[in-house]
Amino acid sequence: MTAHHVTANDAPPGNVSREPAGGGVTPEELDSTAAAWTVLATAYGKVPEERFVTAMRSADQLTHWPYQDRQSVTGIELLIRSGRTATQGRAGEDLADIIADHRRLFIGPRPLHAAPWESVYRSREGLVFEAQTIAVRQAYRRFGLQAPRLNEEPDDHIALEASFISTLCVRALEALAEGRHQDATRFIDGVGSFATEHLRVWLPEFLDRVDRYADTDYHLGIAALTRGALHHLPIRTAPGSVESGGVESGSEAPGHEGARSVAPSHEGARGEGSSSKASSGETAGGGVRPGDRGPAP
């Protein structure tokens, strides 16, 4: 299986039409969505590394964050505050603090305060590999994608879902650049339906738990950026046409064995990536409920 994840090399070509695509979504909005969710996939999918954390706490880097809504501004302020030194009037958070907080929130050991899998929040028993996990798997497969460790790690980890959103946006941009407006609409429809049926359903509770249990401004900031990005996700409320092409929405491609991975293969369902607008983030699987006993790292 060939791993796939959106990287800077996947940035859309410069000749993309500036006209709105399906559902009135502009190429600029697609580019912003791809950039933001690639960064979030890294933030949640990999134990924090110094290079990524430094970038995420840099005021200069954060000027490139694509959104300026209230939640996003709060997130930026928290991330900058996380990087302040004691000489600036507040003790900063070092990398060890941030890693410890990440593990306590998302990986374990126990208790696991903010389980990063959709099915934990939506299934009756609060376990992974439930019906919600399979629904997410099917959503990936409709676009020829699959989780990198299929049947070993849950498909519905937040990092994989974020990477899926980013991938569809990049594919939509590529389709627009090539004049394939029906394909662009299909990818935008995929973003809208996945956001409505999955991300908007479970992420608010997940983010509430991060807000409640995080010990670092860094993770509070990432959660606030996530709320902002969630608010800005394109929404597809009904079938329609690509405005610049006037064609009806097409059907989604069937999945298949050997489908491209929605994120790189990794230990514990982690994901990493970078984007054209902002940049570089291990998780573990297991049957856990929010705040319940989590698996060992």
Tell whether 47 is covered by a domain. yes
What is the rounded distance in angstroms from the CA atom of residue 280 to the CA atom of residue 270?
A: 12
Residue 153, burial from CB neighbour count under 10 angstroms (0-12, 13-18, 19+)? buried
Between CA 246 and CA 252, with CA 249 as vertex, the angle to 5 degrees is 150
Instruction: Kindly give the residue spans of alpha helices, DSSP state H, lying in 83-157.
Output: 95-102, 118-122, 131-141
State the amino acid at position 44 in one-letter form.
Answer: Y
What pTM, to 2 d.p., does this model score? 0.76
Tell whether 150 is covered by a domain. yes
Q: What is the reported pLDDT for 13?
A: 40
CA–chain centroid gap for 276, Å, is 15
Tell whether 228 is covered by a domain. yes
What CATH number is attached to the domain comprising 247? 1.10.3480.10
Torsion angles phi and psi, residue 22, rounded to 5: -55, 135
pLDDT in tens, 273-291: 333 343 323 333 332 223 3
Count of structural domains, the chain: 1
Q: How far is CA 109 from CA 36, 104, 174, 292, in A?
A: 29, 7, 42, 10
260 pLDDT tier (thresholds 50, 70, 90)? low
What is the rounded distance in angstroms from the CA atom of residue 195 to the CA atom of residue 204?
A: 12
Residue 142, burial from CB neighbour count under 10 angstroms (0-12, 13-18, 19+)? middle
pLDDT in tens, 74-96: 999 999 999 986 445 556 799 99
Tell whether 275 is covered by a domain. no
Tell whether 180 is covered by a domain. yes
Q: Which DSSP symbol is given to 106?
A: I
Tell whether 266 is covered by a domain. no
Q: What is the mean pLDDT of residues 238-261?
A: 38
Residue 251's domain comprises 8-261
Q: What is the reported pLDDT for 90?
A: 59
What is the rounded distance in angstroms from the CA atom of residue 48 to the CA atom of residue 165?
A: 21
Contact between 165 and 38 under an 8 Å Cβ cutoff? The reply is no
Q: What is the mean pLDDT of residues 213-234?
A: 96
* Residue 22 pLDDT exceeds 90: no
Tell whether 198 is covered by a domain. yes
235 pLDDT tier (thresholds 50, 70, 90)? low
Tell whether 113 is covered by a domain. yes
